[in-house]
């Protein structure tokens, strides 16, 4: 799910020029346009003045300022760079240039320009955010200490908390600012974003409504509302919200086209993923993750791995996805190394203080113990959130396996039969575990029917082996003999004859003990006659002799 990130509060100040001169020279109409935040009109006016030779000394700074606030960072960059080349350049222009570099993702250049600027609160905020981008904890703490209890600095701190997944800390700051500044409506969107990230989708919706009452056509707010609907309801409800956004798009819609295209793919369950997501991988962070998820759902594990292998995870979602991909690849390749990496990622998330009591955190611990085959521990975690996933096929698939692995095959069978997905029901893991549950629950005929429905393949051969051996262990010799008979025909391995011989003798013993119908003897003899082993005639002779003495037709 892609949400627009809270923007760092680094570029909100006016260009730093000589204010005493500005008072004497400011064009009244320009001042009026700026007060109305009509930045497009302001640029048009300034360019006209420049064209007719009435350019003021700080025209390029004002054009840069307006372009920046219109999101045209390349134009702003051009104006600010030209300003730095002038002999009379005010050194404070460097911080505005640095902010522009920052929003263009040119972080090294932003840092170099930022250090050329005089010390100021804006410079400190900028360098604070750059330290976060560079993962430089020492610098981050130094600039953090320089922050003051003023709105801009606190907003900047909240932004860093948000980007470091410290959502509750960000909420606390936003709420404190809102108490004294109710008119700062946009902060409600940031609070709603934080609640969304904390999985409190209903609370996020309530907070967001405050903003949407005043700004009903906000792209970011409507997109967040759609994301909440996706989590609370389904993709169709979410898409309806986005349709409303596209039908009534404001001027702010243009910049969010890619965001909305991305989210439509998510809401539609991956439809159009290969057309939309690849170009967005380096534009929208979630695009890479959602493309990985798409490949996993298409069983293209290698492509998923190629896309995520070089990603350094920083959020729980990234750690979880890397764990899932490594687990899938490890199972596909039989690689212990990948399985070990997956187990470590799951343990890291599930054991973290911020995630240990969340459902994803507990899912991670269950996955970790699943890979370690510690199924009693798996069940402890799965039981803790079972009520939220009653009709979830993936949850039931894992829960049933854990139940069966701990010997509770009766409940394991019940949960396996709750699964609706045809893809899962045709998976060999599902078939083999369900067959084992049937056998352990004294329903071998149902296990045999699972085999009969399968196409001839390596998996059907493996299922035959499971039925043959498990039925033998459970004293269900009739279906064991049938399975060993098919195995012997497919592969003349002496072990299959030995298994069939033992199963047939076992059936005969059960007939003698009155625990199996006498009529079954006819089929036992038929199974034995299909074998060319020299021992067969002796066994058949004994069985036929008993049948004759007891008047059993064979």
Q: Does 184 reside within a domain?
A: no
Q: Is 540 helix (H, G, I), strand (E, B) or coil?
A: helix
Q: Which domain holds residue 401?
A: 396-456
Per-residue pLDDT of the chain (554 residues; tens, 9 = 90+): 333 333 233 333 333 333 333 333 444 488 888 888 888 888 888 888 888 877 667 788 889 999 999 889 999 999 999 989 888 888 889 999 999 999 998 999 999 999 999 999 999 999 999 999 998 999 999 999 999 999 999 999 999 999 888 899 999 999 999 999 999 999 999 999 999 988 899 999 999 999 999 998 888 899 999 999 999 999 999 999 888 777 665 554 556 788 888 999 999 999 999 999 999 998 888 999 999 999 999 999 999 999 999 999 988 999 999 999 999 999 999 999 999 999 999 999 999 988 888 889 999 999 999 999 999 999 999 999 999 898 899 999 999 999 999 999 999 999 999 999 999 999 999 999 999 999 999 999 999 999 999 998 999 999 999 999 999 999 999 999 999 999 999 998 999 999 999 999 999 999 999 888 988 899 899 989 888 777 888 998 999 999 888 888 87
In angstroms, the CA 83 to CA 55 distance is: 14
Q: Does 205 reside within a domain?
A: no
In angstroms, the CA 500 to CA 486 distance is: 10
Question: How many residues are present in the chain?
Answer: 554
Same domain assignment for residues 479 and 423: no
Same domain assignment for residues 484 and 546: yes
Q: Does 520 reside within a domain?
A: yes
Sequence-distant (≥ 6) Cβ neighbours of residue 299 within 8 angstroms: none
Residues 189, 218 contacting (CB under 8 angstroms): yes
The C-alpha angle with vertex 75 and arms to 71 and 78, in degrees rounded to 5, equals: 140
Same domain assignment for residues 421 and 481: no
Give the pLDDT of residue 551: 85
Helix (H) or strand (E) holding 409: helix 409-416
Same domain assignment for residues 486 and 526: yes
- Residue in 434, 510, 425 with CA at minimum distance from that of residue 475: 510
Q: Does 140 reside within a domain?
A: no
DSSP per-residue letters across 421-446:
-HHHHTSHHHHHHHHHHHHHTT-HHH
Give the pLDDT of residue 43: 87
Same domain assignment for residues 449 and 505: no
The C-alpha angle with vertex 94 and arms to 69 and 45, in degrees rounded to 5, equals: 40
Q: Does 294 reside within a domain?
A: no
Alpha helices in 444-476 (DSSP H): 444-452, 458-473
pTM: 0.73
Q: Does 390 reside within a domain?
A: no
Q: Does 144 reside within a domain?
A: no
Same domain assignment for residues 479 and 429: no
Q: How far is CA 111 from CA 108, 125, 433, in A?
A: 5, 12, 58
Same domain assignment for residues 444 and 482: no
In angstroms, the CA 287 to CA 276 distance is: 9
Can you give the C-alpha Rg of the chain in angstroms? 35
Give the pLDDT of residue 234: 93
Strands, E assignment, 305-390: none
Residue 146 CB coordination number (10 Å): 14
Q: Does 5 reside within a domain?
A: no
Q: What are all long-range contacts of 21-26, with beta carbons under 8 Å and residues at least 24 apart?
A: 21/57, 22/58, 25/56, 25/57, 25/58
Same domain assignment for residues 423 and 492: no
Same domain assignment for residues 479 and 534: yes
Domain count, the chain: 2
How many helices (H) and strands (E) are present in the chain, helices listed first?
A: 33, 0
Sequence-distant (≥ 6) Cβ neighbours of residue 389 within 8 angstroms: 395, 396
What's CA 468's distance to the chain center, in Å?
Answer: 41
Tokens of 91: 């050194």
Give the pLDDT of residue 248: 60
Same domain assignment for residues 491 and 450: no
In angstroms, the CA 504 to CA 522 distance is: 11
């Amino acid at each position: 799910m892609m949400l627009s990130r809270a923007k760092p509060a680094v570029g909100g100040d006016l260009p730093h020029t000589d204010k005493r001169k500005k008072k004497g020279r400011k064009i009244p109409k320009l001042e009026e346009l700026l007060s109305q935040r009509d930045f497009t009109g302001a640029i048009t006016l300034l360019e006209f003045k420049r064209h007719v030779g009435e350019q003021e000394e700080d025209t390029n700074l004002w054009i840069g300022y307006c372009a920046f606030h219109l999101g045209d960072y390349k134009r702003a960059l051009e104006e600010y760079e030209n300003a730095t080349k002038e002999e009379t350049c005010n050194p404070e222009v460097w911080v505005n240039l640095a902010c522009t570099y920052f929003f263009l993702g040119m972080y090294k250049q932003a840092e170099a320009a930022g250090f050329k600027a005089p010390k100021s609160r804006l410079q400190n905020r900028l360098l604070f955010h750059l330290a976060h981008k560079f993962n430089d904890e020492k610098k981050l703490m130094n600039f953090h200490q320089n922050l003051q209890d003023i709105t801009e600095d606190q907003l900047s701190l909240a932004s860093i908390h948000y980007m470091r997944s410290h959502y509750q800390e960000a909420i606390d700051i936003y709420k404190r600012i809102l108490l004294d500044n109710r008119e700062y409506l946009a902060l409600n969107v940031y609070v709603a974003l934080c609640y969304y990230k904390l999985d409190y989708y209903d609370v996020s919706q309530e907070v967001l409504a405050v903003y949407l009452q005043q700004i009903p056509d906000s792209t970011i707010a409507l997109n967040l509302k759609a994301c909440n609907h996706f989590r609370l309801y389904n993709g169709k409800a979410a898409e309806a919200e986005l349709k409303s956004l596209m039908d009534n798009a404001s001027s702010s819609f243009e910049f969010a086209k890619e965001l909305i295209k991305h989210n439509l793919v998510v809401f539609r369950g991956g439809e159009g993923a290969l057309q939309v997501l690849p170009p967005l991988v380096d534009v929208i962070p979630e695009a890479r993750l959602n493309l990985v998820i798409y490949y996993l759902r298409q069983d293209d594990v290698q492509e998923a791995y190629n896309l995520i292998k070089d990603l350094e995870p920083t959020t729980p979602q990234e750690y979880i996805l890397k764990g899932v991909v490594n687990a899938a690849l490890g199972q596909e390749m039989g690689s212990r190394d990948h399985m070990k990496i997956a187990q470590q990622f799951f343990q890291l998330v599930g054991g973290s203080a911020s995630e240990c009591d969340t459902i994803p955190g507990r899912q991670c611990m269950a996955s970790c113990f699943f890979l370690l085959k510690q199924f009693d521990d798996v069940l402890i975690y799965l039981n803790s959130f079972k009520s939220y996933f009653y009709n979830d096929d993936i949850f039931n698939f894992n829960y049933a396996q854990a139940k069966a692995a701990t010997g509770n095959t009766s409940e394991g069978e019940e949960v396996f039969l709750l699964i609706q997905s045809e893809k899962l029901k045709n998976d060999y893991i599902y078939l083999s575990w369900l067959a084992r549950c049937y056998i352990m629950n004294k329903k071998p005929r149902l296990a045999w029917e699972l085999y009969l429905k399968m196409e001839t393949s390596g998996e059907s051969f493996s299922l035959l082996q499971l039925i043959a051996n498990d039925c033998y262990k459970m004293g269900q010799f009739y279906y064991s003999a049938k399975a060993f008979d098919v195995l012997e025909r497919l592969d003349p391995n002496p072990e299959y004859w030995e298994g069939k011989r033992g199963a047939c003798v076992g059936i005969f013993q059960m007939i003698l003990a009155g625990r199996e119908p006498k009529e079954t003897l006819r089929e036992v003899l038929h199974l034995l006659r299909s074998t060319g082993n020299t021992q067969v005639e002796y066994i058949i002779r004994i069985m036929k002799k008993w049948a004759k003495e007891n008047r059993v037709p064979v």
